[in-house]
Structure 1
Amino acid sequence: MTGHDPAAEFFAGLPPQRRADAEAVHDLIRAAAPRLTPWIWRGVMWGGTDQTILGYGRIAQTNRGGATVEWFRIGLAYLSLYVSATRDGRYLAQVYGPRLGKAKIGSSALSFRRLADLDRSVLTELVAEAARPD
């Protein structure tokens, strides 16, 4: 019997026009952060939308209600990355955002229309730093 592949499950649910870029981001994350095990997170994000996210690494996070929940160090949702790691009190998405290329940068998230819009070497730096143990 073969093991469950969360990445294959995640990619099967993506629209075909986004799948190639998402798979390339996944490959980049796996190369830059091989110790972060992929897993599927399902739940309601802030804003009330149901999400399925391919998470990498598991961390405990306190939500707005004060409960501790299982979360991911890095998460891939369509063509958005959620990065829970910080440097000097700033989320890494904000630290690396100005160097990434054409992306929308939020507090801990970055969204892009296609991988070609990003500087892959900067994205690799961001992922490698996010994967470092605390």
Structure 2
Amino acid sequence: MTVQAQIDGYIADQAPPKRDDMQALHQLVLKSAPGCRLWFLDGRNDQGKVVSNPNIGYGSQTLTYAGGDSREFYRVGLSANTAGISVYIVGLDDKTYLSETYGKRLGKASVTGYCVRFRSLKDVDIDVVEEMIASHMGAAPAR
């Protein structure tokens, strides 16, 4: 199964209105970074055990860990969860950047060092979400 087929299936498996929100976010990221590398992580580790929610990833970067190891990983991720949707901004060195730059303008969202969580798109300012994603993907907002 292709990565695009896995992404399409994952989004289709979400109950409405979360499905519509995930599809809108997926299109928003693709508009901000057309042709970017797509990832799909099913949430299972090497032994097949579920360790996280499935994630859709966009873009590519090399992450270097404290021990010196490095690996390729996505720049922006989307995940549906029981409380709503998470947008991951991966590879930030400054764990206060998201909250300081976007926190007050996002709307009804929880912001951590690398993740923005919200119940639905109607709870957040979509222009600020797009700005955040486009900035991290290395593009200006398309709107």
TM, length-normalised to structure 1: 0.78
Deviation, 1:60, is: 1.9
Residues 92, 126 of structure 1: 8 Å contact kept: no
**Offset at residue 24 of structure 1 (A):** 0.9
1:29 alignment counterpart? 29
Deviation (angstroms), 1:127: 1.1
Instruction: Establish whether residue 75 from structure 1 lines up as the match of residue 80 from structure 2.
Output: no
Deviation at 1:64, TM superposition (A): 6.3
Show structure 2 runs of 5+ residues with no match. none
Asked whether the 8 Å contact 2:63–2:72 carries over to 1, the reply is yes
Q: How many matched pairs?
A: 129
**Secondary structure at 2:75's aligned position in 1?**
strand
Q: Distance in 2 between matches of 1:9 and 1:91?
A: 34
The code of the aligned residue for 1:41 comes to L
CA distance in 2, matches of 1:14, 1:92: 30
Measured on the aligned residues, the alpha-carbon RMSD in Å equals 2.9
CA displacement at 1:13 relative to structure 2: 3.7
> Is 2:25 the partner of 1:19?
no
1:40–1:54 Cα contact (<8 Å) kept: yes
Q: How does 1:1-134 map to 2 (within 5 A)?
A: 4-5=3-4, 6-43=6-43, 49-63=51-65, 67-78=69-80, 79-84=85-90, 86=92, 89-90=94-95, 92-94=97-99, 95-132=101-138
User: Structure 2 length as normaliser, TM-score?
Assistant: 0.73
Q: For 1:61, give the aligned amino acid.
A: L
CA, structure 1 residues 84+50, in 2 after alignment: closer, same or farther (shift >3 Å)? Answer: closer
Deviations 1:47-86 (A, max 9, x none): x833310000122223466532332100000110000254
| Identity among equivalent pairs (%) | 30
Q: Which has the higher strand share?
A: 1
Give the letter aligned to residue 18 of structure 1. Answer: K
Unaligned stretches of 5+ residues in structure 1: none
User: How many Å apart are 1:40 and its aligned residue?
Assistant: 0.6
- Secondary structure of the residue aligned to 2:19 is helix
